[in-house]
Amino acid sequence: MMKATGYGQTTHKGTPWLAHRLAWVLDGAAIPDGTVLDHECHTRLREACAGGPACPHRRCVNPAHMRLITRSVNALAGNSPHSDNARKAHCLRGHPLEGENLRIVQKKGRAPSRECVTCRRQRNRASYERNDERTKQRERYAARKQAQEDASPGE
């Protein structure tokens, strides 16, 4: 469904959502208070795209094309110190960089960096699932080989 503003509108668990915001949240990210989701695919083409309800980017639901910016920055559509502060208070995907979600990473010879625990966990899970899939493939291959050997005559 399309709203008059040009944004996609959808419903998730009985709650109305703007489609791109829902895609972002279902991707495991968050939208903290005071921030808005900006369509980077539009921002990049700002000169070519007139924007407004006819803007095709408003319908884009690819989380990789979005980024969080603070409301005031969105209004100014520029780079102000606000966006830097917002980046410090939240990770790129909007999780709060504080308390239990904040992890300080100290690498040798580098300045300590702040890392989002939620994003780290999601990255680890993704790589675990990839490894798991590789293990299963190896097992399937070994089982197939074994079956072939069992079926071959003469032993």
Amino acid, single-letter form, for residue 42: H
Task: Give the integer Cα–Cα distance in Å for 66 and 35.
Answer: 12
Q: Closest separation between CB of residue 121 and Zn ion, Å?
A: 9
Q: Which residues bind Zn ion (CB under 5 A)?
A: 41-42, 49, 55, 57, 60, 62, 65, 91, 93, 95, 116, 118-119
The nearer residue to Zn ion, 73 or 90, going by C-beta atoms, is 90
Q: Closest separation between CB of residue 123 and Zn ion, Å?
A: 10
Q: Closest separation between CB of residue 115 and Zn ion, Å?
A: 9
**DSSP string for residues in 7-68:** -BEEEETTEEEEHHHHHHHHTT----TTEEEEEHHHHHTTTT---GGG-GGGG---GGGEEE
Q: Closest separation between CB of residue 21 and Zn ion, Å?
A: 14
The nearer residue to Zn ion, 47 or 155, going by C-beta atoms, is 47
**What tokens does 55 get?**
């803007």
The nearer residue to Zn ion, 32 or 142, going by C-beta atoms, is 32
The nearer residue to Zn ion, 21 or 95, going by C-beta atoms, is 95
Nearest-5° angle of CA 94, CA 97, CA 98? Answer: 135
Task: Give the integer Cα–Cα distance in Å for 19 and 2.
Answer: 9
Task: Give the integer Cα–Cα distance in Å for 106 and 96.
Answer: 20
The nearer residue to Zn ion, 85 or 135, going by C-beta atoms, is 85
Q: Closest separation between CB of residue 60 and Zn ion, Å?
A: 3
